[in-house]
Structure 1
Amino acid sequence: MNLVLKTAVTAIALTAAALTSASAETRITYKSAKVGSSYYQMGVELAEAMKAGTNGEVIVTLEESQGSVQNVMDVRARGGDFVFTTPPALVGLAQGGKAMFEGKGSPAFDEIRALFPIPSLTMHFVMSQDSGATDLMGLEGKTILLGKGSFGATEGAKYLDLFGLTDKVTIADAELSNAVAALKNGQIDGFVTAGSWPAPNVIEAAASTPVTVLSMTDEQVAETKRTRLTIPAGTYAGQDSDIITTSLPVVAFTTTKMDDNTAYALTKTFWEEKARLSQSSPWWNGVDPSMLSTIGGKIHPGAVRYYEEAGIDLSDAQK
């Protein structure tokens, strides 16, 4: 074989190898939350886990989001490479054309399918020990920071109203980002925040001043109509017992446009990498297969295949 022919054969071989490599690589767009939020950081961690767990065969690119409603609305114009996060309840509202989706319905919403749960939005009522508050009713007469515009602020205000405390507490006019400093300086008695646990701002507060994270009774949890969640003892400094609180489940979703093999690979890799994710970021410890029960709609057939292989029970309605 002469030199020219050898060079041509080599070039063809390299091109074929490159094409094979490119075709084996799956690219996914993952849309979750605003840059700087804990949920955006989870997206970063998931992207790294997917790349590591598939030896680079799945590449996840993060896309900033303005919120869960926008994530759901985006499915109308997205393809099979789109994964987004939102509470399952919002998917139900979208599919029913209710609440914020009234008049904005789309057949695309009916094609939304779940993959796997991620850390839940977890309510924290954080009080200084000096306040003397040890339960929700102990908020009476106290100054509380709720923040503005967040799920935690809205949910916190709802609970104050639900338990007859709205006119019995003083709401601080400040941003949640100032909560830890205000608590430490005695400007407020406590603050309300919602996020994955352990929550970074609660860790910071507990490390800087003695605090009590309030626990709810089972009856109070039931009144909120939210999901009951236990934050294990020892999660925060000075926390000697479990904290019973409420949560809003959050799930990674895609649509039927995603092929079964890709959905299977994403779901399988997530659960196989979860132990390593938990070692680097404790908030992944709060995710387990029991959280699949919070998904009221359908799970993607590719993900169903993984759960059946893993012996994880699903309801008939989810399949």
Structure 2
Amino acid sequence: MKMRHILMGVAMAALATTAAAEERVTYKSAKSSSSYYQMGVQIAEAMKAGTDGDIIVTVEESQGSVQNVMEVRARGADYVFTTPPALVRLAQEGKAMFEGKGDPAFDEIRALFPIPSLTMHFVMSEDSGVTDFAGMEGKTLLLGKGSFGAKEGAKYLELFGLDDKVELAEVELSNAVDAMKNGRIDGFVTAGSYPAPNVIEAAASMGVTILSLDDEQIAETGRTRIVIPAGTYTGQDADIVTTSLPVVAYTTTKMSDDVAYELTRTFWEEREKMGQSAAWWLAVDRNLMDTIEGKIHPGAVRYYEEAGFELSDAQK
């Protein structure tokens, strides 16, 4: 009986040690149907593999980046979320959608690492003969409805003097490739991490041209310049220069330095392996660190300094 009690005590101590070593993190990303939710799942798998199970990430569905930021007010040390850096700045300044909703918790938001950016794609059928924005005049274009890409696409048409010169198709973005194949539209606009699945499908199944923007056009948009490397899509022989909306994984100062360090270290060490199964991770490199506005979590800063990343004074 005495031996049994001893064995039970050893087993309970072992369980307690395991529980203490295991860190649980909630990662709030996007709608379950989106590529960003898939990225969250991939990050969760990478964290488990890269820490030998010491960090377990649970992915939560979200209705959008604004909700992710707002939940900072009620969340604890285990909360990681994704959002464009611009929204964090607006929250901290109490502007736009955060007007009248300010909270001291917003000032405690800290960055961990960048994830694939929302990248604008203007995809035109080869049959349309369109090779630049001016060539879209008189063509039929699908923007979709309600999404970042739709709003951004409409903005660019107005900026470049095309808003009343392009016919907008009343077709769901999910039907874009079929609509272009049967000639109902000449092109479509989509925003997402590259390579984007609908652009992959269009490029592989028919000839397409993905438009580039020049430096002046990029400056007019006010967005971040990004290059989609040649060969990303079938038939793409040259780099595509376009715009993007950076997206970053954040937490708050409630998270311990050690956990923030491990999350950041594991992300970068597993990134290449993630890229072998999902090419959008290959678009994440040190250059994206420049898109992080504001402060980075001290634990993440420790990793970046050890790994030789260059950080700005504002990021520290």
On whether the aligned pair clears a TM of 0.5, the verdict is yes
2:177 is the alignment partner of 1:180: yes
Distance 1:142 1:311 in 2: 49
CA distance in 2, matches of 1:42, 1:296: 22
Out of 102, 121, 124, the residue aligned to residue 121 of structure 2 is 124
Q: What is the CA-CA distance between 1:223 and the residue it aligns to?
A: 1.1
1:76 is matched with which residue? 73
Select 1:261's aligned residue among 245, 258, 262. Answer: 258
> Distance in 2 between the 1:136 and 1:294 partners?
26
| Pairs within 5 Å for 1:216-235 | 216-235=213-232
Deviation of 1:196 after TM superposition, in Å, equals 0.2
Residue correspondence of structure 1 range 212-251 to structure 2 within 5 A? 212-251=209-248
Aligned runs of 1:40-55 on 2, under 5 Å? 40-55=37-52
Q: Deviations over 1:265-286 (max 9, x none)?
A: 0000000001101111000010
- Aligned residue for 1:117, secondary structure, equals strand
Paired with 1:16 and 1:219, the residues of 2 have a C-alpha distance of: 65
1:139 to 125, 131, 136: 136
* C-alpha distance in structure 2 between counterparts of 1:18 and 1:73, whole Å: 36
Aligned AA (2:175): N
Distance in 2 (alpha carbons) for counterparts of 1:99 and 1:137 = 33
1:152-204 deviation digits (Å, cap 9, x = unpaired): 00000000000000000001112111101101111000000000000001001
Residue 277 of structure 1: aligned partner: 274
Aligned to 2:201: 204
Deviations 1:50-97 (A, max 9, x none): 000000000000100000011000101000000000000000000000
Amino acid at match of 2:139: K
Counterpart of 2:210 in structure 1: which amino acid? V
SS state at 2:58 partner: strand
Distance 1:185 1:216 in 2: 27
Moved over 6 A (4+): none
**Which ranges in structure 1 are unaligned for 5 or more consecutive residues?**
none
Please report how far the alpha carbon of residue 308 of structure 1 lies from its aligned counterpart in structure 2 after TM superposition. 0.5
1:306 counterpart residue number: 303
TM-score (norm 1): 0.98
CA positional deviation for 1:295: 1.2
Matching of residues 52-131 of structure 1 within 5 Å: 52-131=49-128
2:24 aligns with: 27
Q: Is residue 146 of structure 2 the alignment partner of residue 149 of structure 1?
A: yes
1:18-55 Cα distance to aligned partner (Å, 9 max, x none): 00000100000000100011000000100000000000
| TM norm structure 2 | 0.99
Measure, in 2, the Cα distance between the counterparts of 1:115 and 1:280: 23
- Calculate the aligned-residue CA RMSD, in Å: 0.6
SS at match of 1:317: coil
Superposed displacement of residue 108, structure 1 = 0.6
Give the total of aligned pairs: 316
1:211-247, Cα deviation, whole Å (9 max, x unpaired) = 1111111111111111100000011011110000000
Percent identity over the alignment?
A: 73
- The residue identity in structure 2 corresponding to 1:228 is R
Deviation at 1:208, TM superposition (A): 1.3
For the residues of structure 2 that align with 1:111 and 1:240, how far apart are their CA atoms?
45
